[in-house]
Structure formats: structure tokens, C-alpha cells
């Protein structure tokens, strides 16, 4: 039963197992959905989807399998006005719902799409409580606050929703882990970079619960408190960010990363430096690229130990000369005695815990502008794209010495 739904979920990237699928079949055999498509939607999602990051993929697969249609993303302004002042919502009784289902039936969804297009062309005013036009509070297949066994909700609140309409709304699109991330997601991902240690000087002021239980048992049940030093995060981080030029298109996401890391309070030390396209014998201290606000890259090597973890953020897209040639730096009045690639290799060697985050989607790395230099940089640093999945993978890689 629904075996094609199983494969639809797998095609959307949801790792549904046969064990989970058989669990769903057992739930159906026990009558846990009462012949309700809405209940089936929630039951199947609770059994088959292991993370909210896959809710959107689940909705897409569900909609495709059950022949759902998506509400048009942009309706005419006049249609929106028709729906702004609905009738007070009428909650249909179960008897009324069953009568309407028998009378209206479930429509053919291709026909429903055509009907909606025709209504948009011919309707010239608001309708409330009817059964044909785009309106509210009635039994029309288009609108909101009414009931139809297979309609399209347009705006407003839903009081008699069907599962297909829930799927079409795609409420969980922001949960997806393969989409570009925001500040909150950055903060959550960066917490995974924590490494705790209690081998620090300081008073023992934190209750050691496990130690207390153990010593109390050894003391024949008489309470014996054990105290320990608080654990401190030992991670030290350097962030090197590309600014200007082709990175201007990715300024927003880089700004979010910058904000998230700056708000992080769980690192022992965090340092920010900047570069343009490639790193040479200096890096910028400020993000305005002001030439007099720089430090030598060799000073960077001398200031920080090799246990600092390094995150480089940039698209790695540049002219090959900027990466491979002496005096290849893009600014006409500046020179570099050694190729940028040499400096990147030195950074990789000095700081063996390193990753490169690229705002360009990975699928374009081999055919986008700068694909040649992207490939070379990938040979120097482990490169990941700026999505939640990519950042998670980068964080795991940062925990491993190259």
C-alpha cells in the first residue's frame, strides 16, 4: 500500500527505512487514521521523518503523490481584497461535512487548476458564503474559512483543512538543512565546536553529581558532596573572511555568520581578519579593506598557536593570476612577492585545523566563474558550502587535525 509514496519520499532525500515503513503499515492496519487523509499526513510524518529539517521535503513528496496543487504564489491584488473581510467562520458539523462531501465529491486536480485560472479571469468582486467564486465562509473550492473536500485555500485561516492543503503551504521550508542558513542556525551549529576541559586553575565550585552519588554509596548512604572545577571551553578560533568584489553578492549571509560568531560567548578566543580574493603577505584588521589597517600574515603566524581552528569564508573565485602569480594581487598600486597560493598553503600548514566555507552552491563549483581557482583552493583546504548541512560537516572536520 502506498509503495510509490515510499519511493517519492526517498527521491526527496528522506532516508525512510523498511522498518519505519512497516511500522506505518501496522499503524494503518490498526485503524489509527480513521480513513482521514489529514490524519494519515500527520501519522506518516511522525513515523517516517526523523528530523524537522526534512518536513519540507516530506510536504513536497506528499503533495506530489496525492496530486496536490500549490496555491498561486502571487494572486491579483483585487483577489486579496476580496478575502480581507470574510464572514464569521462557520464551523461545519460532522453531518454537514459528510453531506457536502457526498454532494461535492473530490475533484480532479487538473480540472481544479483550470477552474481556478478561469475564476481569476472572470470574477469581478468579493463573494462570501457562496459555492462557486473565490470567497470566504462558504463551500466554494477557492478561498478560506469555509469547507470543501478538495479545495484550494487562498489566504486567511483554515477551519476545515485537508492534508493536501497543509502540504501545499510548505510551512517548513525554513527548516530545510540544504538551504542557506541564518544567524540562529549559525549559532546552533557553532556550539558543536565546543571542547570542554576542567584542567584549569580555579576553585572547585561545581557539584559533581556522579562523583557525589559514587562517594555517598561508598559512605554507606551518608551524603558526601563532591565538588569539581567548572568545565571551560578550550576552543580558539580565527575567522578569515573575503570581502568586496564577487563576494558582494553574498554579503548578507557573510554578515549573518559574522554576527553569529560575534555573539558566541562559548569560545576561549575568537579573532576576525579579512582579505580580498586571496591572502598575501598581509590581512585586513577591519572589514572596510583600509590598507593602513592591516597586519602582516607572518605576524599572524607568530601571534597564534597551531591549536587555533581556522575558518576561511569566501567564494575562492578569482583570476588565476591572483592565486598563482607573483604580483598577481588585484590592486594596481600593490605588489606581492609570492603567489597567493603559497600563503594559503602556509596557513593550512600552520593551522592544521582548518576549513573553507563557500557561499557558492557546491553544484556550481565546477562550472561557475572562478571554477579553476575554486578547484585549486579545494586542494589546500577542505571546502564546504554555506548551508546547514555544509556547516555541520565543516564543524566535524574542524575537530580533526589535517
- Does residue 240 form part of some domain? yes
Least confident of 121-135, 147-161, 284-298, 348-362: 147-161
β 196-197/232-233 pair status:
antiparallel
Mean pLDDT of 22-45: 82
Instruction: Say how many C-beta atoms besides its own lie within 10 A of residue 18's C-beta.
Output: 8
Q: Are residues 129 and 150 in the same domain?
A: yes
Instruction: Say how many C-beta atoms besides its own lie within 10 A of residue 260's C-beta.
Output: 19
- Does residue 186 form part of some domain? no
Mean pLDDT of 124-129: 59
Q: How far apart are CA 96 and CA 92, in angstroms?
A: 6
Predicted pLDDT at 131: 58
Mean pLDDT of 237-253: 79
CA distances from 30 to 26, 27, 43, 45, 94 (A): 6, 5, 12, 17, 23
Q: Are residues 258 and 389 in the same domain?
A: yes
Q: Are residues 260 and 285 in the same domain?
A: yes
Q: Are residues 102 and 157 in the same domain?
A: yes
Could you tell me what percent of the chain has a pLDDT over 90?
Answer: 18
Q: How many domains does the chain have?
A: 4
pLDDT at residue 351 above 60?
Answer: yes
Q: Are residues 227 and 141 in the same domain?
A: no
pLDDT band at 277 (very low <50, low <70, confident <90, very high): confident
Q: Are residues 385 and 253 in the same domain?
A: yes
Q: Are residues 300 and 218 in the same domain?
A: no
Q: Are residues 310 and 266 in the same domain?
A: yes
Residue that is written with C-alpha cell 571542547 in the block: 195
Q: How far apart are CA 147 and CA 43, in angstroms?
A: 23
Q: Are residues 121 and 167 in the same domain?
A: yes
- Residue 264 or 359, more confident: 359
Predicted pLDDT at 56: 80
Predicted pLDDT at 148: 56
Q: Are 154 and 79 within 8 A, CB to CB?
A: yes
Q: Are residues 249 and 147 in the same domain?
A: no
pLDDT band at 104 (very low <50, low <70, confident <90, very high): low
- Does residue 99 form part of some domain? yes
pLDDT band at 280 (very low <50, low <70, confident <90, very high): very high
Mean pLDDT of 228-240: 78
pLDDT band at 163 (very low <50, low <70, confident <90, very high): very low
- Does residue 266 form part of some domain? yes
CA distances from 229 to 200, 233, 251, 333 (A): 8, 13, 42, 55
Q: What is the pLDDT of residues 295-343, one digit of tens each?
A: 999 999 999 999 899 999 999 988 888 899 888 887 766 788 899 999 9
Residue that is written with C-alpha cell 464572514 in the block: 87
Q: Are residues 263 and 141 in the same domain?
A: no
pTM (whole model) above 0.85: no
- Residue 355 or 334, more confident: 355
pLDDT at residue 393 above 60?
Answer: yes
- Does residue 195 form part of some domain? no
Predicted pLDDT at 339: 93
Q: What is the pLDDT of residues 283-300, one digit of tens each?
A: 988 766 555 678 999 999
Q: How far apart are CA 271 and CA 285, in angstroms?
A: 10
Q: What share of the chain is helix, strand, coil (3-state, %, to 5)?
A: 45, 15, 45
* Angle formed at CA 238 by CA 237 and CA 242, multiple of 5 degrees: 140
- Does residue 188 form part of some domain? no
Q: What is the pLDDT of residues 40-82, one digit of tens each?
A: 888 889 999 888 778 888 888 887 787 544 444 444 455 555 5
Could you tell me what percent of the chain has a pLDDT over 70?
Answer: 58
Residue 289 pairs with which residues in a beta bridge? none
Predicted pLDDT at 357: 92
Range(s) of the domain holding residue 217: 202-232
Q: How far apart are CA 45 and CA 312, in angstroms?
A: 38
- Residue 126 or 191, more confident: 191
What are residue 72's phi and psi, to 5 degrees? -50, 135
288: domain CATH number is 3.40.50
Q: Are residues 389 and 270 in the same domain?
A: yes
Question: Could you tell me which of 20, 7, 10 has the C-alpha nearest to residue 50?
Answer: 20
Predicted pLDDT at 75: 47
Q: Which of 95-104, 153-162, 202-211, 321-330 has the highest mean pLDDT?
A: 321-330
- Residue 322 or 103, more confident: 322
- Does residue 196 form part of some domain? no
SS3 label, residue 311:
strand
Predicted pLDDT at 202: 55
Question: Could you tell me which of 315, 323, 320, 322 has the C-alpha nearest to residue 362?
Answer: 315
Q: What is the mean pLDDT of the chain?
A: 74
- Does residue 180 form part of some domain? no
Amino acid at each position: 500500500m502506498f509503495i510509490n509514496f515510499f519511493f517519492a519520499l526517498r527521491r526527496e532525500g528522506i532516508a525512510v527505512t523498511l522498518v519505519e515503513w512497516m511500522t506505518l503499515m501496522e499503524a494503518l492496519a490498526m485503524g489509527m487514521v480513521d480513513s482521514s487523509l489529514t490524519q494519515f499526513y500527520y501519522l506518516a510524518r511522525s513515523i517516517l521523518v526523523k528530523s524537522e529539517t526534512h518536513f519540507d521535503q516530506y510536504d513536497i513528496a506528499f503533495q506530489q503523490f496525492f496530486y496536490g496543487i500549490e496555491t498561486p504564489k502571487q494572486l491579483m491584488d483585487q483577489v486579496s481584497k476580496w478575502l480581507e473581510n470574510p464572514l464569521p467562520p462557520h464551523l461545519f458539523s460532522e453531518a454537514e461535512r459528510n453531506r457536502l462531501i457526498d454532494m461535492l465529491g473530490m475533484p480532479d486536480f487538473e480540472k481544479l487548476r483550470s477552474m481556478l485560472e478561469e475564476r481569476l479571469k472572470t470574477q469581478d468582486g468579493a463573494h462570501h458564503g457562496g459555492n462557486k467564486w473565490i470567497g470566504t465562509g462558504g463551500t466554494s473550492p477557492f478561498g478560506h474559512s469555509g469547507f470543501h473536500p478538495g479545495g484550494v485555500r487562498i489566504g486567511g485561516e483554515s477551519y476545515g483543512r485537508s492534508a493536501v492543503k497543509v502540504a501545499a503551504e510548505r510551512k517548513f521550508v525554513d527548516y530545510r538543512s540544504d538551504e542557506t542558513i541564518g544567524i540562529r542556525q549559525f549559532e546552533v551549529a557553532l556550539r558543536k565546536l565546543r571542547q570542554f576541559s576542567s584542567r584549569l586553575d580555579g576553585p572547585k565550585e561545581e557539584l559533581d553529581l556522579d562523583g557525589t552519588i559514587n562517594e555517598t554509596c561508598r559512605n554507606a548512604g551518608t551524603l558526601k558532596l563532591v565538588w569539581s572545577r567548572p568545565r571551560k571551553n578550550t576552543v580558539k578560533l580565527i575567522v578569515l573572511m573575503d570581502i568586496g568584489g564577487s563576494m558582494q553578492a553574498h554579503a548578507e549571509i557573510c554578515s549573518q555568520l559574522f554576527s553569529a560568531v560575534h555573539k558566541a560567548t562559548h569560545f576561549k578566543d575568537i579573532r576576525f581578519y579579512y582579505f580580498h580574493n586571496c591572502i598575501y603577505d598581509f590581512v585586513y584588521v577591519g572589514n572596510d579593506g583600509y590598507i593602513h589597517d592591516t597586519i602582516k600574515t607572518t605576524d599572524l603566524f607568530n601571534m597564534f598557536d597551531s591549536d587555533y581552528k581556522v575558518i576561511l569564508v569566501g567564494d575562492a573565485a578569482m583570476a588565476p593570476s591572483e592565486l598563482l602569480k607573483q604580483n598577481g594581487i588585484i590592486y594596481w598600486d600593490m605588489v606581492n612577492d609570492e603567489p597567493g597560493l603559497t600563503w594559503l598553503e602556509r596557513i593550512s600548514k600552520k593551522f592544521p585545523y582548518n576549513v573553507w566555507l563557500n557561499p557558492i552552491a557546491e553544484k556550481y563549483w565546477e562550472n561557475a566563474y572562478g571554477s579553476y581557482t575554486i578547484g585549486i583552493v579545494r586542494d589546500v583546504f577542505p571546502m564546504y558550502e554555506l548551508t546547514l548541512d555544509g556547516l555541520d560537516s565543516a564543524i566535524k572536520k574542524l575537530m580533526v587535525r589535517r
